[in-house]
């Protein structure tokens, strides 16, 4: 279905994925079949999927960027808020931790410049390291090589 992938990205990275899903289901610019498909999607399932996508990116960043890991250890709440802004503002264009680290550093550098980019409202994200049972699943963990993607199942 034309437009499905682009619209899913918008939904899953929106500050409120459920609201974005409802908007997609009512968008006359989409085909009737795609609108029906979005209308049939379970809103809680979409929200959880958005959380898992953010979680995987969060783990990718912590594995690739020691400064981010240190910042998280120093003040988890502040780092989580930063990460939400980063996730909302920067498209996830890289699959590997070192690439994510470069994106994050570039975002930090832009933010520190005299004309920072506008900040959309933070998106909901678990953005906290929890025990495996409490946290959304991932195939993360720090091994001998930091630069490998998480395994999402």
Partner 1 sequence: MIATGFNLPPDEESLQRLAPLIIEEPDLYEVAPETLWRQQGDGFAPNGFHRRFADLRARTGRPFVAHGVGLSVGGGGAADERRKRTWLRQIAADHAVFDFLWYTDHLGVSAPEGLALTLPLPVPYTPAVATGVGRRLSALQAIVPDVGVENTAHHFVLGDPLDEPAFIARCLNGRRTHLLLDLHNVHTMATNLGFAAAAYLQRLPLEKVIEIHVSGGAESSPRWLPSGRVLRLDSHDGAVPDEVWDLLEAVVPRCPNLRAVVLERLERTADEGDVPLLREELRRIRRVVA
Task: Report the interface residues with partner 1, using CB under 8 A.
Answer: 1, 4-6, 8-9, 12, 33-34, 37-38, 40-49, 51-53, 56-57, 60, 91-96, 98-99, 126, 132-134, 136-137, 139, 141-145, 147-153
19-32 burial, b at 16+ Cβ within 10 Å, e below that, comes to ebbeebbeeeebee
Please identify, using beta-carbon distances, which residue of 53 and 116 lies nearer to partner 1: 53
CB 61 to partner 1: min, Å: 12
Q: Long-range contact list for 68-75, CB < 8 A, 24+ apart?
A: 68/101, 68/104, 72/129
What is the closest distance, in whole angstroms, from the C-beta atom of residue 49 to partner 1 in the complex? Answer: 5
Which DSSP symbol is given to 128? S
Between CA 125 and CA 58 the distance in angstroms is 9
114 or 150: CB nearest partner 1: 150
Whichever of 16 and 111 has its CB closer to partner 1, that residue is 16
- Please identify, using beta-carbon distances, which residue of 91 and 116 lies nearer to partner 1: 91
d(CA 117, CA 150): 29
């Amino acid at each position: 279905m034309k437009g499905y992938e682009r619209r899913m990205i918008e939904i899953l990275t929106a500050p409120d994925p459920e609201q974005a899903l409802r908007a997609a289901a009512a968008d006359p610019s989409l085909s009737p079949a795609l609108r029906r498909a979005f209308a049939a999607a379970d809103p809680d399932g979409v929200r959880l999927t958005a959380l898992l996508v953010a979680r995987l990116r969060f783990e990718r960043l912590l594995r690739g960027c020691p400064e981010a890991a240190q910042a998280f250890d120093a003040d988890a709440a502040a780092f989580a808020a930063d990460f939400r802004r980063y996730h909302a503002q920067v498209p996830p264009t890289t699959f590997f931790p070192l690439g994510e680290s470069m994106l994050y550093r570039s975002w930090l550098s832009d933010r520190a410049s005299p004309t920072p980019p506008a900040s959309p409202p933070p998106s909901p994200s678990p953005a906290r390291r929890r025990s495996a049972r409490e946290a959304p699943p991932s195939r993360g963990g720090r091994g001998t090589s930091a630069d490998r993607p998480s395994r999402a199942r």
